[in-house]
Amino acid sequence: MKRWLQMTAAALLILMLTTPAAAAEASFMKPEKQDGQAQEQGMRILELAEQYTPEQAAKWKEELAKRTVLREQLHKYKNSSKYRKKQEKMKQELKQKLDSGEMTQEDLKKMIQQKKKEFAEKHRAWKEEGSKLQQQLEQALAEQNEHEIAAALNAMLKRLQQSNQRMAEKLQSLDQNMKP
């Protein structure tokens, strides 16, 4: 029975420690994946911005370049030995809590499920908002409504700026968490 308990605890720890990595993977595309579809979409948006909102074109270029740099930094950070050591340390701390009785397996399961649920809800809402903006832009393009195209592009630019801000904050947070 005790061995089964240890095996279950180990499996839960592995699951919990891979969840943040999966979240990072889902939240921030790898730079090499950007070479394909994301880069094409960025170029298309940039062309539309230059055509329909020329006063915003420079901001679009700046924010798209910023996004590329931030994604590369997050990817590099995620693959660093510091990050892996921090993950291993968290794993050991949780294992100690389980071994000492501070936390039960049920508590650990609940904590993992809660974090997954919170991430999934935030991620889903963010994706839905992006899909709505994309649909608005596509509809405005189909109708050739310049005013609506400009409004959709401006909303998408604000969203890109928010996304870049979130990535910068995430990097800053990770840097502070890594300090001994």
- For 41-76, the pLDDT digits (tens) are 888 999 999 999 999 999 999 999 999 999 999 898
Helices (H), the chain: 2-27, 31-33, 39-52, 57-78, 81-100, 105-143, 146-178
Q: What is the structure's pLDDT at 29?
A: 45
What average pLDDT does range 73-90 have in this prediction?
86
Q: Please give the structure tokens belonging to residue 160.
A: 């890109």
User: Which amino acid is residue 157, in one-letter code?
Assistant: L
Choose between 8 and 133: higher pLDDT. Answer: 133
Banded pLDDT at 8 (limits 50, 70, 90) = low
Rg (CA), the chain: 21
In the predicted model, is pLDDT for residue 25 greater than 50? Answer: no
Q: What is the structure's pLDDT at 35?
A: 55
Banded pLDDT at 80 (limits 50, 70, 90) = confident
Q: Please give the structure tokens belonging to residue 83.
A: 């990050």
As a whole number, the mean pLDDT across the chain is: 82
Q: What is the structure's pLDDT at 7?
A: 53
Q: What is the structure's pLDDT at 71?
A: 92
In the predicted model, is pLDDT for residue 163 greater than 60? Answer: yes
Contacts 24+ apart (CB under 8 A), 30-33: 30/71, 30/75, 31/68, 31/71, 31/72, 31/75
CA–CA separation, 129 and 137 (whole Å): 13
CA–CA separation, 126 and 119 (whole Å): 11
CA–CA separation, 67 and 157 (whole Å): 12
Q: Please give the structure tokens belonging to residue 46.
A: 């940039």
Q: What is the structure's pLDDT at 150?
A: 94
pLDDT tens for residues 116-130? 999 999 999 999 999
Closest listed residue to residue 11, CA positions, set 87, 110, 105, 78 = 105
CA–CA separation, 97 and 34 (whole Å): 40
Q: What is the structure's pLDDT at 91?
A: 87
